[in-house]
Amino acid sequence: MIGSVAFQTKARTVDHLGREQIADTPTAISELWKNAFDAYARNVALNIFDGASQVAVIDDDGHGMNRDEFVNRWLVVGTESKATTDRMPIGDRNGLRVRPRQGQKGIGRLSCANLGPILLFVSKRRQQPFVAALVDWRLFENPFLNLSDIQIPVVEFTTREELFELLPLLVDGLAKNLSDAADPARASRLTAAWKDYDRLYETEHAEGISNKLRAPSSELRSTIDDLSFEPRHVAQWPVWTGDAEHGTALLVSGINYDLQVQLETEVADSSARAARDRFFETLSSFVDPFVDPLNPEARAAVDLEFSYSVRTWRGDVPELVVGSEKQFDRRLLDGLEHQIVGTIDRDGVFVGRVKAFGQWVEEPCRIVPPRDLAIPRRADTEVGPFDIYIASMEFVSANTTLPRLEFQRYQELAERYSGFMIFRDGLRVLPYGRTDNDFFEIESRRSKNAGREFWNHRQMFGRLAISRNANPNLKDKAGREGLLDNRAAKTLKVIVANILSQSARRYFGSASAIRSEMLPQVKASNKAERAKNERNKLRQRQRKEFRAKLDGYVKELPGLVSNLEHFAQHLNIADESGIADAQAAVETFKEKVSDLRLPGAPKSLGSLEAKYADYRDSMRSAKVLLETVTEEIERQIERIDPAQPRDLLERQLARHSSQIAHRIQQWKKKIEALQKAEFERIRDLVSQRNKHFHTEASPLLALFDRGELSFAEAAKRLEQEKERVDAENEDLFLPYIGALESLKESIDLEHLAAFGMEEAGDMRAELDRLNSLAQLGIAVEIVGHELQAYDDIIGAALRRLPPEVREGKAAKDIEFGYEGLTDQLRFLSPLRLAGQKIQRWITGGEIADYVSEFFKLPLANNRISLTATDAFRRFRVFDQQSRLFPVFINLINNSLYWIGTSDRQDRRIILDVIGAAVVVSDSGPGVDPEDVDNLFSLFFTRKVRGGRGVGLYLSRANLSAGGHRIRYTAPSDGQPLQGANFVIEFRGAEFDGE
């Protein structure tokens, strides 16, 4: 007879599916944030609180749960609703568009176990009671417990104050999982299971293989009894503050190491720094930042209406760690000089646009998949279409086409946000984009030929945009550590790797014809930067040599001074025969002192200051002693009055000649050694460069032999390669020849370079100081006016609040905080080029209204009209208000001054649009042609009074930070007025609603 049996589930199954499946803490947080997204939350936050018992809270304003849903869905592993339908009732969407579901397996909630052992779950649906439950995930580590023996205490309540009143009851209910007197049979099973688990701990502890500090049952009892959830832990939850009627909060006690280190103010431990860096790297781009709101791609999720944040709380003081407010966006990358934008269709063919060295390639780019790749067509294996965006730059300053300010800004951005990521329906798929993940083998290919392959994970920004509907076979692994390794994922990897490789070879890498053509031009324009690098190398070498000599001389000088003192004390020339010996001894001392001379001290000594002071003191003592001894010898020679003075002079001449010859011989040996080494280096370099062209060009013949290049194409590529290598050789050898020719003419290159380097260094330091002062001065002028206006607005708004609100703590805190902020800003308000992080669409109408109000009195007093055309009012640009408004203030302020110096009756300023550019035009005298080149230079001004020459300089810097351009154009028939005309080309601006 055949019997039937059922699977039995141990409690550890939940531990395996949750804590042990999730790769790390940031991944666990990402999973819980995705659950909030699926619950149609607009906001999700992780708050980490300090205290005797540190607590982390993930809260959202999603639709929430009632008791039945918590019991029948949240406590059911692998909830069937996520596997069968994506339909969400309209009432649960909270006014949002339909969202593609992110969760697929119904186990994401178990990620809570990764954050800490104890979870207090609190949730609320609209117009329904709160539900709360207490879970200790360590219960599920007991291998002797069945899953059915663990019971989770759950309560309902109606007002928020009841939560902490009911918390002791939840603790009691949780403790019954150790022993339950109300159910003898269950109590017997629990007692036996915990007894066996404790016994297992004792055995493992005795063998030294347990990581627990005490028996599991004792550990659970102790931490449950000491549970310390507090009202401040939920004080930021929108449901608690009354800003939302629904949502969920997950309070975690006993948080893990990765969360604890976020609270540290100074992180000295390298493992803690690594944990914080990984935390930021993983969560910083949780929502796709690469979406272009003007031209969204097919698979890109535009405006998800979903914000996220991580904050630490030390007492009542919050600090933002990462979040939507601390995130870059696609528009910040538009100025990068290398870009790929396009779509890969279901056949694996890329079609899109390419930007190389700052210029968009006219012909559309098309890259087909490798010939040996069979694109899967079956519904259960095909990849489906997806979108790609990549942006990068030349990270060697000598090769870049970017202005210096933009180059530095993108370098800083890359340090925080670089990486090649994957986003599904707008949310990030982990672990792609992290430095330790090389799914597309970018670094592997680069290690074989860095120049040809070009792409570098740490120096590129980009992502693939996939969707659940278009790419259903690209599924996450259970532990969310990447895509499931099926045929679709394997095909995706090959397709993308091929696009990266082919684009590098066509447009960006060392094998690219575009690079061969453009790079010499770019390098030629960046010679000043290269000269600066050479000066820095020389400075570093000189400083290194100076330090080494100083260290040695400081040790030698005291002994020399001591010997000199001894010699001076015992100097006594008895007769004529002793004169030569005394003179020889002094000459030896002088030669030693000469050998210890240390010229070329850097102007900024830093840590060497004290040691150099000791050296100077010792050297001064030695020179004084030498002078004293020399004078004493002369006095004693006069006393002796030698009979044969010429013989003494001849012997002195011979000694001096010998000493000079000895020093020359030492220099000769050094010169010959350097010449020999340099001769060998040049010989090897010549040999290497002779072979270099053949090595680089030979692959082109192989491409011709395989039919991948026609004869004309191969001949053209050979010519381009020859010109590129010849230019490289010219850069190597011509400067060397020039240096030798200068040496032939006895030009002191070392002195010349050192002098120019020190002079340039002084000028740069002075410029930096003046620039800082200039920024501060212009910032105070602008901020002073705006602070007064904002102060009036906030003060008036606070006064209009109802009395019961105005007297409340929140309003008082706002008033107190703003007063403190304005007091600080009145003293110091440096104008940051990046401005505030808030970007939005700004219209010409807003700008015109703002500057009209700003200059209302000066315009009236000087009888000057300021008008904005309809075209200007309709134009709009996506940027920061704090970046753009000061530019127009500076331009109009200049126009006011110069119109005021003129006796013309036509006194006008016009804001207009010509073509695709904004124009600020006035009826003043305009700019003299000889001054145009210096117009945007720092401190250049022709104003007789009140001019500092910083306004236009800072205006250009401000605009450059946003990728915009400003220039002056001479009056012409096409300009609104015949005075000064400044043209601003705004990146991404829209005109006439286009």
pLDDT band at residue 829 using 50, 70 and 90 as cut-offs: very low
Q: How many CA atoms lie less than 13 Å away from 513 in the CB half-sphere?
A: 11
Average pLDDT over residues 959-980: 85
Q: Which residues contact 153 (CB under 8 A, 6 or more apart)?
A: 133, 134, 169, 170, 172, 173, 174, 176
Residue 756 pLDDT: 52
Amino acid code (one letter) for 800: R
One DSSP character per residue, 545-586 reads: HHHHHHHHHHHHHHHHHHHHHHHHHT----STHHHHHHHHHH
d(CA 743, CA 721): 34
* CB proximity list for 40: less than 8 A, separation 6 or greater: 62, 63, 88, 92, 93, 94, 96, 99
CA 429 to chain centre: 21
* 159 or 111, greater pLDDT: 159
- Read off the pLDDT of each residue in 208-230 and give the average, rounded to a whole number: 78
| pLDDT confidence tier of residue 940, bands split at 50, 70 and 90 | confident
Asked whether the predicted pLDDT for residue 835 surpasses 50, the reply is no
Helix (H, G, I), strand (E, B) or coil at 739: helix
pLDDT for residue 836: 37
Amino acid (one-letter) located at 748: D
Strands (E), 86-244: 118-124, 130-136, 154-157
The full DSSP string for 362-399 is SSPEEEPPPTT-----STTT----EEEEEEE---SGGG
Residue 828 has pLDDT above 50, yes or no: no
| 509-564 pLDDT per residue, tens | 888 888 888 877 777 666 655 666 666 666 677 677 778 887 888 888 888 888 88
- What is the pairing mode between strands 965-969 and 55-60? unpaired
Residue 864 predicted with pLDDT over 60? yes
Which has the closest alpha carbon to 144: 183, 188, 112?
188
At which residue do the structure tokens 């004084």 appear? 624
Compute the average pLDDT of residues 265-270. Answer: 72
Q: What pLDDT does residue 816 have?
A: 63
End-to-end CA distance of the chain: 79
Task: Pick the more confident residue, 502 or 625.
Answer: 502
Could you read off the pLDDT of 277-319 as tens digits, one per residue?
889 988 988 999 998 877 888 787 777 889 999 999 988 888 8
pLDDT (tens digit per residue) in 167-205: 999 988 988 888 877 788 888 888 888 888 888 877 777
Helix count (H) and strand count (E) of the chain?
Answer: 29, 23
Residue range 305-354, pLDDT digits in tens: 899 999 999 888 888 899 887 777 888 888 899 999 999 999 999 999 99
User: What's the CA angle centered on 11, arms 7 and 17, to 5 degrees?
Assistant: 90
Tens of pLDDT, residue by residue over 689-706, are 888 888 878 877 877 887
Which own/partner pairs from 899-902 qualify as long-range (CB within 8 Å, at least 24 positions apart)?
Answer: 899/862, 899/864, 899/923, 899/924, 899/979, 900/862, 900/864, 901/925
- For 712-745, the pLDDT digits (tens) are 777 777 877 887 788 778 777 777 777 777 666 6
Q: Token pair for residue 586?
A: 């002094």
246 with 63: CB under 8 angstroms?
A: yes
Q: Which of 111, 113, 37, 106 is nearest to 72 (CA)?
A: 106
What mean pLDDT is predicted for residues 587-596? 79
Q: Quote the CA–CA distance of 474 and 471 in Å, as a whole number.
A: 6
pLDDT above 90 coverage of the chain, percent? 25
Please write the tens of the pLDDT for every residue from 5-20: 666 676 676 666 666 6
CA distance 313 to 235: 12
Closest CA to 400 of 331, 335, 332, 334: 335
For residues 220-226, average pLDDT = 80
